[in-house]
Amino acid sequence: MEFNGCAMNPSAMTQRVKSQIDTQSHAVITGVGLVTPLGHTADETWNSLLLGRTIDTHARVPDLEAEDRTFALAGIAARAALNHAGWTEALLSRPDTALIVGTSKGPVEIWLRGKSPQLAGGLAQTAAVLGEALGFGCGPRLTYSAACASGLHALIRAAIMLQCGEAERVLVVGVEASAHPLFISSFQRLGVIAPQGFGCRPFDRSRRGFLMSEAAAAVCLEKRDTALTFPIARIDRFAIGGDGAHLTAGDPTGATLRQLLKSVIDCQSVDLIHAHGTGTLVNDPMELAALDWAIPGNENHPIVFSHKGALGHSLGASGLVSVVLNCMMHQLGMVPPNIHTHSPLPVERLRINRETVRIAVQRSLVIASGFGGPTAVVGLVSP
């Protein structure tokens, strides 16, 4: 495991790398849950992706009536993952069972409606409030907010907790319910929102930005040697870093991302890369160039996929949404199409698929990054 960050002046190409604990994680994923605008379950969302369904505007999860959508969405995904992993109420009450929530804004819509943040616990208390609702005991509860990398940063923190002995098992939840006119307008002013009716087109020459959406994803993480059920996937390697180039724009050279990818790929074969893939003018060519640079020269052209063309950008939840979808690709041996990528950007060592691809996914990557520079890469391998 490595923590990598570039200096505040990326143009100097100065990298500071610090190794911690071990080079390989011992965490396995034993349960997943997912709710998106295209499905209230992981299976529903997966089938929608295979059928080529997409959102066509900024989207909320349909048929969900709740005063606070953040906790409603998080609860749906969390309970699905807990059931999948077979975690009991007695297990949740143990002091060595932890909960980590990744979110960029927490229950923000309750505040925007004039309700007191204390009613929802505030951003920092998101994990504490969710833990009470789910029946967690006195184990650790943490809330991570790292912009659009929140969910993936939360997963990495959970893997570190297992590695360090801080917990025996961790439920990780990524949730975002901020598809609100205030934030949509803010992102429009930044020039990263796709025009009405245009859609999100990751890695496409004509890309114009993304659509915002709600989502929640959940992952049950356990130690490999003491997992209660057969794992879905194992976290192989991971790296987190900070790109301090700009408040809202990354370093155009992709220096930090390149170093994180180099650390996680570790000269090994990769079958699938679930990219950040926002469909924005700046992100996509930088991300593809970093991947082309990092993939070994003898690599058999891994597939690059982004769910944002179909599901939109769920901000702080998006990284963990990618993890859940990757787990399904490992299990089912299929990669859904990049449905709105009509004319892909040029690549050398990668494949950008426009149709469903059947492939045995043995090793995959997930990438996430956010405004302000938080960046993360996680490697998954089949058990």
pLDDT in tens, 334-349: 999 999 999 999 999 9
Residues 133 and 198 reside in one and the same domain: yes
Domain for residue 300, yes or no? Answer: yes
Same domain (yes/no): 75, 150: yes
Decide: 319 and 376 in contact? Cβ < 8 Å: yes
Q: How confident is the model at residue 213 (pLDDT cuts 50, 70, 90)?
A: very high
Query: According to the 3-state scheme, what is the secondary structure of 169-217?
Result: EEEEEEEECCCCHHHHHHHHHHCCECCCCCCCCCCECCCCCECEECEEE
Is the same domain home to 298 and 170?
no
What is the CATH classification number for the domain harbouring 332? 3.40.47.10
Give the per-residue pLDDT at 3.
Answer: 35
Closest CA to 233 of 244, 248, 219: 219
217 and 264: one domain?
A: no
Q: Within a domain: residue 74?
A: yes
- Does the pLDDT value for residue 8 go beyond 70? no
- Residue 135 Ramachandran class (φ > 0 left, ψ -120 to 50 alpha, else beta): left
The whole-number average pLDDT for the span 123-140 is 94
Q: Which residue, of 223, 257, 289, is where some domain finishes?
A: 223
Give the residue numbers spanning the domain of 282. Answer: 237-378
pLDDT computed for residue 252 by the predictor = 86
How confident is the model at residue 12, as a pLDDT?
31
- Per mean pLDDT, which range of 22-36, 65-79, 259-273 is the poorest? 22-36
> Is 155 within a domain?
yes
Report pLDDT for 111: 80
In this structure, the answer to whether residues 311 and 340 fall within a common structural domain is yes
Cβ atoms of 72 and 66 within 8 Å: the answer is: yes
Q: Name the helix (H) or strand (E) containing 111.
A: helix 108-112
Q: Total domain count for the chain?
A: 2
Residue carrying structure tokens 């209660």 = 228
pLDDT of residue 247: 74
Q: Which of 180, 197, 223 is the last residue of a domain?
A: 223
Residue type, 355: E
Same domain, 66 and 209: yes
Q: Are residues 208 and 252 in the same domain?
A: no
CA–CA distance, 54 with 61 (Å, rounded to integer):
13
Q: How far apart are CA 187 and CA 128, in angstroms?
A: 29
319's enclosing H/E stretch is helix 318-332
**One domain for residues 101 and 204:** yes
Mention every residue, 6+ apart, whose C-beta is less than 8 A from residue 21.
Answer: 1, 160, 163, 164
Any domain includes 184: yes
Tens of pLDDT, residues 77-96: 999 999 999 999 999 999 99
In a domain, 4, yes or no: no
- Mean pLDDT across the chain, nearest whole number? 91
Q: Calculate mean pLDDT across residues 222-226.
A: 92
Mark whether 294 and 251 lie in a shared domain. yes
Model confidence at 376, in pLDDT bands (50, 70, 90)?
very high
| Position 13 pLDDT exceeds 60 | no
Same domain, 108 and 210: yes
pTM recorded for the entire structure: 0.93
Give the contacts of 165 (CB within 8 A, at least 6 positions apart).
none
Parallel, antiparallel or unpaired: strands 303-305 and 272-274:
parallel
Q: Is residue 168 part of a domain?
A: yes
19 within some domain:
no
Domain finish residue from 201, 223, 245: 223
Task: Judge whether 117 lies within some domain.
Answer: yes
| Claim to verify: residue 79 and residue 212 sit in the same structural domain | yes
**Do 175 and 247 fall into the same domain?**
no
Mean pLDDT throughout 197-209? 97
Find, among 232, 304, 219, the residue nearest to 261 by Cα: 304
Residue 15 predicted with pLDDT over 70: no
